[in-house]
Amino acid sequence: MTFKTLLFPLLAFPFLLPQLTAAERRRGRFSDSGVYAIAYQWGGTLNAKRLSVDKTLDIQSLKTARERGVFTVIQFEEPSRWQGDPEATEAVLREWLENNEDALPLIDALHFWEENPYNAARWLNPLYDIVKEYSDLPVYVWYSMPLGPGGAKADGYCYDFYGQDYTSTRKKVIDYLSTGKPLVMCIDASGFSNLKAAREQVMVCKEFDIPAFYFAADGGTGSCNNWLYGYKPPYIPRRNFMFSAMEFQRRSRGDHPLTSADFVWGDPVEVVPDSQGNIELSWQGAGGATIYGFTRLTGAVKDLRTNGQNIVLDYQFWSRWPVRSASLELAIEGNAEHIQVEQARYGMAGPLDSYPDPWRTVGPEPAVEDASLHFDLGDTGHESRVRITLSGPSGAVTLKHATLAGKTEIPENPVILLDPWFDGWRGGIRYRQDLTSGQWRVLGRIDKPQLLEAGKTPAMKGVSGYGRGVEIVQAFSAHCPLDNIVVRLAGESLGNLGGSFDLGISLDGQTIVAEGTRSPSPNGQPPSRGTYTADLSDNTMFSGIKQFYVHMIQRNSSGIESNIGSRLKRLEIDARFRSDK
């Protein structure tokens, strides 16, 4: 057997077994995407629909999906019934197949529940045979992680491998594709696993050109709509990931499909106001955008120009407080007709871009200067997605600088409410604050702000002649009593310059009653990076409280003028709502 013979099943495997004629048979590709179990209303071209075997299919909606090029995958949500009385189960399935005879040609695949064990073959195989008596509709099997492929009869597979890295996922995908049968990957967008692994799994799907749909659900309720519409900061990067990935999949087809090198992941950009609530965020180059068409950029890193094909810069902005009167200003060189700005809340992809979150084109206002374009974005709320497209022939336009501006109202005495950071998958609050964003200047009380650098990061220099210290205090609260509170403060310090940092916790914002313990430095040598942890789980003073204060303390005791002696990076708080609340 030649190498090409072995490689062929990995390069050319159909998404579906023939039910239509060979000429009509479509193939599922990486460019096909969807959201698991909620049909295609959020975009994409995979209609992954859960269905009870007692329900009749809506033929018209299936026809609409087929006309729009959507693949329809039906999942029977009947685990207890499938594993119950075999004769009763088979009778119910036969009745469903008879009642939906006209709809079967419009279904592209069917599977019996998700995450089946290996021993499911004993009850899956008879069901497979019954389906084949009525139709050659492809029947898939979805094995539990890390199982599969197994012995059950299958025309293809669905699979989720949540949390696994690139190498492990690639190996498992090869195991499945080596069977010569199609595979659809389900990727976690809900926060059940880590975001890095989810991104790597998308790239594995791109590498093998297989379709992917996304598991998106609120961890507390299991609701897809709560995941999409609820203001929960932990879901902001997840939404950004999913809709960026789906857009990458969509743009991987057409006249100028994207390669892996064309796609660069970006992270949500936190919009930080000043003490008066004014927002002004400026950047050169891509500025943290997700990029579609990276290899098409020419010129210097800070001056972005096209080389004849479209380049898209996709930004997801978010703020702790709703943003009003937002605007975008672009400094350009060249023809303004080759720049397009679009805006949406999330920016969904697929055949139904108009529902429920349409992209709208924002036209530039009359320019104050020839080299500047001004776009009115309106009241954008907590989240807003902005897409800048550069087009035209090589050198037609250059983007040199961008500024996002707006207004927001900050409470007079800001208290950080922990409730929105509830993580249902882990059963508690998981608050995360990136101190390098500058939000601490608005959220915290600072006793000696003049001792800190003017930038966004809490960074302190030494002072000639004597030691000094500065303290940032942030207040936290919850609607329900809290238990098992753990606080972590990460940063770095140059001990040989007298720099250090500490963590303290108080109940009144004044008197520290608990302190953090420093984790050991990896090598004990400066610069020393580490984390202070205050585990308050067994401290009765912090049992059942609704409010507390975190003190982030920096000192320089060397008495010499120096460069930065300490710098704070990240604050984390884990807690649980009291069970008897």
Where are the domains positioned within the chain? 14-20+28-250, 260-407, 415-577
The sign one gets for the Cα dihedral 254, 260, 261, 267 is positive
15: confidence class by pLDDT, cuts 50, 70, 90 = very low
CATH T-level assignment (fold) for domain 415-577:
Jelly Rolls (2.60.120)
Residue 512 pLDDT > 50, yes or no? yes
pLDDT of residue 350: 52
Q: Are the C-beta atoms of 111 and 86 separated by less than 8 Å?
A: no
| pLDDT (0 to 100) of residue 472 | 96
Which residues, in sequence order, are bridge partners of residue 71?
46
Class of domain 260-407: mainly beta
> Does domain 14-20+28-250 fall into CATH 3.20.20.80?
yes
Lowest mean pLDDT among 93-107, 348-362, 398-412, 534-548: 348-362
Q: Give me the pLDDT at residue 98, please.
A: 95
Cα distance between residue 337 and residue 327, in whole Å: 19
Average pLDDT over residues 261-276: 94
pLDDT reading at 263 higher than 50: yes
Check: CB of residue 205 under 8 Å from CB of residue 263: no
- Topology agreement, domain 14-20+28-250 and domain 415-577: no
Sign of torsion over alpha carbons 527, 528, 531, 534: negative
**How far is Cα 449 from Cα 454, in angstroms, rounded to an integer?**
9
Q: How far apart are CA 115 and CA 324, in angstroms?
A: 45
**Residue-averaged pLDDT of the chain:** 86
